[in-house]
Structure 1
Amino acid sequence: MERWGRNLRDECIGHVLLYNERHALAVVSEYVDHFNDHRPHQGRQQRVPCHNSSHML
C-alpha cells in the first residue's frame, strides 16, 4: 500500500493542482482506472491486473 501511495503521489497528485475534495476524488478515481486497466505492469506477460482473460490466445 505504501508503494502504491507513493506512485499515486509521484505520478498523479504531484502534477495536478487540486481545487477541492470533489476534484481530488475525480483525479484519483481516474488515476486508479488508468493504473488498473491501462498501465503496463511487471506481471505475467506485461498484462494489467484487471485484464480480460477471454482475450487470451
Structure 2
Amino acid sequence: MLAAGLISRREGAGVSPGVVYELTPLGHSFHDGPLRALATWAQRHGHELPAGDYQVLP
C-alpha cells in the first residue's frame, strides 16, 4: 500500500519514537469508494457465502 501511494509513512519523534502510517488523499479515495462498496456488498450478501473461517460484521 505504501508503494502504491495509498498510505504514507513517517518516523515519529520524541521520547518514544515510532512509525506513523496515514492514508494519503488517494488512500482516502480508495477507502471511500471501492472499500465502502465492498463492505456494503458484504453486509447485503455475506449470508449467501458458504460457511468458513470468517465473520460478517454488522
Higher normalized strand content (fraction of residues): 2
TM exceeds 0.5? no
Q: TM-score, normalised by structure 2?
A: 0.29
Q: Which has the higher helix share?
A: 1
Q: Which has the larger radius of gyration?
A: 2
